Amino acid sequence: MLRVAEKFAETNTGMARRANEDSYWSQAPLFAVADGMGGAQAGEVASGTAIEVFQDGLPDGPGSAEERLAGLVAEANARVHEKSISDRELSGMGTTTTAAYVGETEVALAHVGDSRAYLLREGRFERLTHDHSLVEELVRQGKLTPEEADEHPQRSIITRALGPEPEVEVDHVSMRGRHGDVYLLCSDGLTSMVPEARVEQIVAAGRSLEQTGRALIKAANDAGGRDNITVILFRLEELDAGPSGATGDDRTIAGTGGPTTAEVRAAVASAPAREATAPAARRREVVPRSPAPPRPVLDGRRRRWLPALVVTLIVLLPVLGGAYLASQAVFFLGVASNGSVTVFQGLPYDLPFGAHLYTSAYVTGLTPAQLPPGRRKQLLDHKLRSHDDAFDLARQLELNQLGG
């Protein structure tokens, strides 16, 4: 059984060192970091509103701890969004959130935005979350190197946050906890100032979590401290631990709280051996088949139109299939429902009953107002383009390489 043996939590606002406890929640077994955006006042309201949701702990109910934690983040999104549309001065506010819950055997994570979660386990330091940011998306697509992303002028643009939309997609995962694990939750005020390799050095070298946390905050402030620096650290210990700890890949499958992937691999590997030692009579056991149900008798009218229907389908299906495949080979630029300039795949046509001939392929993080005024209409004219042309144009817009 796991429990939190040691913890540290603090927020510093740059060099001013102003503590803002509305930016985090730290009470075992639930921890959360929130980093607001939308101006100083609106950002504080957004992060404070999100953190309020975690203060009552993880609710009871159906589903795994991971699913209920993701539900808390979704509830935080709804509260921030509702507040942003009810007060004009708070319009457009949002916040990132990374939360962790320590269960009896597992640690669940839920995440939206560019705050991060890390794990130090037996000397290995690993990032557990993926940033929902413009540059991270470009890195994943191979359009930027990690080094270019660190210096990108739009590295602060995030593509997912709590508040801007009524609903938000929440990343969540569970993993088997181990004795001695150290988790770090932090805002981008740390990671935008301190390289990840340096963060690893500080966490690995710390003698206590308080010393480690203060060293991380100092490193960010020494580098410029341009943003809120929120740091939560907690270390796990296992009660009644056996003589040997778990080994291999401890992440659970689909967050179900079931067997780990290592346990599944072991079970699959041993299956042939178990079958080979089973009694021969059991291996050859045959289950009798049920008698086939009687076939329906078609009347004369059905016999006449059935062949015509078959012929029609034979003719139409290849045509429809070819049209669909052709539509998937073209792309165009337009504006999504959330106001972002987006690369769409397919044809720019809407069908009855809310159906479309296109899907979103890439969201740029730009709005039409940020495009060159003289070319705005031309860029959003839904002209059909190839995959490379559409994505190259989107990247040029993001990098501000097109003149007005």
Q: What is the CATH number of the domain that holds 79?
A: 3.60.40.10
Q: What are phi and psi of 67, to 5 degrees?
A: -65, -40
User: Is it the case that residue 302 has pLDDT exceeding 70?
Assistant: no
pLDDT of residue 19: 46
Lowest mean per-residue pLDDT among 81-95, 128-142, 249-263, 331-345? 249-263
Q: Which one of 188, 211, 241 terminates a domain? A: 241
249 domain residue, yes or no? no
* Residues 235 and 331 placed together within one structural domain of the fold: no
Distance CA 100, CA 30 (A): 6
pTM above 0.85, yes or no: no
What rounded mean pLDDT belongs to the chain?
A: 79
Angle of helix 196-205 relative to helix 209-222, nearest 10 degrees? 150
Distance CA 190, CA 187 (A): 6
**Rounded mean pLDDT, 281-307:** 41
Lowest mean per-residue pLDDT among 126-135, 302-311, 369-378? 302-311
pLDDT of residue 390: 83
278 domain residue, yes or no? no
* Residues 179 and 314 placed together within one structural domain of the fold: no
* Residues 233 and 306 placed together within one structural domain of the fold: no
Token output for 1: 């059984």
* Residues 207 and 352 placed together within one structural domain of the fold: no
Percent above pLDDT 90 for the chain: 43
Q: Per residue in 57-114, pLDDT tens? A: 999 999 999 999 999 999 999 999 999 999 988 988 999 999 999 999 999 999 999 9
User: Is it the case that residue 123 has pLDDT exceeding 70?
Assistant: yes
Is 238 in contact with 163 (CB distance < 8 Å)?
no
In terms of pLDDT, which residue wins out, 398 or 65?
65
* Residues 16 and 137 placed together within one structural domain of the fold: yes
- Please report which confidence band the pLDDT of residue 368 belongs to, taking 50, 70 and 90 as the band edges: confident
Structural domain boundaries enclosing 317? 302-404
183 domain residue, yes or no? yes
In terms of pLDDT, which residue wins out, 152 or 96?
96
Q: Find all residues with CB under 8 Å of 2, minimum gap 6, and list them.
A: 102, 103, 104, 105, 106, 107, 177, 236, 237, 238, 239
* Residues 58 and 149 placed together within one structural domain of the fold: yes
pLDDT of residue 16: 43
296 domain residue, yes or no? no
H or E segment to which residue 188 belongs = helix 188-191
225 domain residue, yes or no? yes
Q: Which one of 197, 216, 241 terminates a domain? A: 241
Q: What are phi and psi of 63, to 5 degrees?
A: 95, 165
* Residues 215 and 310 placed together within one structural domain of the fold: no
Structural domains of the chain, count: 2
In terms of pLDDT, which residue wins out, 353 or 174?
174
Q: Which segments within 79-222 are labelled E, that is strand?
A: 94-102, 106-112, 116-121, 124-127, 171-176, 182-186
pLDDT of residue 111: 97
275 domain residue, yes or no? no
**Rounded mean pLDDT, 1-23:** 77
* Residues 57 and 151 placed together within one structural domain of the fold: yes
- Please report which confidence band the pLDDT of residue 264 belongs to, taking 50, 70 and 90 as the band edges: very low
* Residues 60 and 168 placed together within one structural domain of the fold: yes
Distance CA 81, CA 168 (A): 10
Lowest mean per-residue pLDDT among 6-15, 299-308, 348-357, 358-367? 299-308
Distance CA 64, CA 257 (A): 7
Q: Find all residues with CB under 8 Å of 379, minimum gap 6, and list them.
A: 333, 371, 372, 393, 397, 402
Q: What are phi and psi of 312, to 5 degrees?
A: -60, -45
* Residues 307 and 233 placed together within one structural domain of the fold: no
- Please report which confidence band the pLDDT of residue 369 belongs to, taking 50, 70 and 90 as the band edges: confident
* Residues 70 and 183 placed together within one structural domain of the fold: yes
- Please report which confidence band the pLDDT of residue 168 belongs to, taking 50, 70 and 90 as the band edges: very high
Lowest mean per-residue pLDDT among 61-65, 176-180, 196-200, 292-296? 292-296
In terms of pLDDT, which residue wins out, 271 or 358?
358
pLDDT of residue 366: 81
56 domain residue, yes or no? yes
280 domain residue, yes or no? no
- Please report which confidence band the pLDDT of residue 292 belongs to, taking 50, 70 and 90 as the band edges: very low
User: Is it the case that residue 21 has pLDDT exceeding 70?
Assistant: no
Q: Which one of 225, 241, 257 terminates a domain? A: 241
* Residues 234 and 343 placed together within one structural domain of the fold: no
pLDDT of residue 37: 87
Paired residues of 32 in beta bridges: 25, 99
Lowest mean per-residue pLDDT among 17-31, 147-161, 221-235, 322-336? 322-336
In terms of pLDDT, which residue wins out, 135 or 338?
135
